[in-house]
Structure 1
Amino acid sequence: MDATKSEAFLRLATTLLLLMTALLVLFDSQTKLIYSSILRKATYKDLNALFVLVLVEFSAASYNLLQLVRYCIASRFMPGLIVSHKNLAWICFWLDQVAVYTVFAANSAALAASLLAVTGSSGFQWMGVCNIYARFCFQIGGALVCGYFASLLMALVSSISAFSLFRLYSSKHFLLLKGK
């Protein structure tokens, strides 16, 4: 399997994982009766980091889906564009870098906020909420695992993107284009 086909496969897997992460967080909720009279529902909107995570995951999935469409259209109608267009390779490389770092940062922020929700903070007199909303917390944990796995796959895609970019340059002269 060549680099472009493996990149397409990894982008498809990444898109599916990003969508799974976003949908798990988006549709996760749990309602509990607190103090025998107050009905409280836990959703992703209760924690700002989870709200941002949903937005970032959907954005990154959309970006990867657009890259897949670009790959499919270009491989069918303009096969040389995938292989040798220097400016497009630079744009894809930088956008892949931005996407992978943004997804990793959003997952890390959601993990930090979720850990605070699990453990609480005695200094602020915040109690841990996962003993009340256990199912909600387990589903968020599963979504975060999917998100980190998607980040790993995006890092692999970014590596392929870097390879596709830097193979256009000469190995003897730093950052000079190869002759035809």
Structure 2
Amino acid sequence: MEALFWGCLIGGVLFAVVTVLLGDVLSGAMDGVLDFLSVDFFKPVVLAAGITVFGGTGIMLVKYTDLSSMPQVVISLLVAILLSIAVYFGYVRPMENSENSTGFSIKELAGRIGEVTIPLPAEGYGEVMVRVGAGNTLHIASSFDKTPLVAGVRVVVVEVADGILRVSELEERKGDDYEHS
């Protein structure tokens, strides 16, 4: 039984090292062969942690307790499951949510504040600059209210239709800040 635990400990450590060092290379080479395993919980970090903890706990139980093989396996398995859950909810999930990206969907611009950069005629198109993340993006726009809008006017994106921002002049009230960042 001790050989199984040592194998899991060494295998888990090697798996973690290989995943960290060669994860992207292996992922590209295998081209989605293991996609059927991509249940949300079974991430490489979680699996490596579980296998390694199973092996390490088993080795410690063999060395420091007088338990028989079956309780050692059960206790090691329970500790591995608990630690894997902790790694998933304490590390993996928060890291997935904190991923930064400069990508955005144009549909996300509805409700955002922008500024007219190229005047918008009552009928036709102009250009609006909208702040997205840490930068500004320029988009083709038309007047939602069918009123002309001059350059420099602050606008709000009312809707996005066919890749065109439909905007209306922002009416600011004193003391209110409508800036959406």
- TM-score of the pair, normalised by structure 2: 0.30
- TM-score of the pair, normalised by structure 1: 0.30
**Higher relative contact order structure (alpha carbons within 8 Å, sequence separation ≥ 6):** 1
Greater share of strand: 2
Greater share of helix: 1
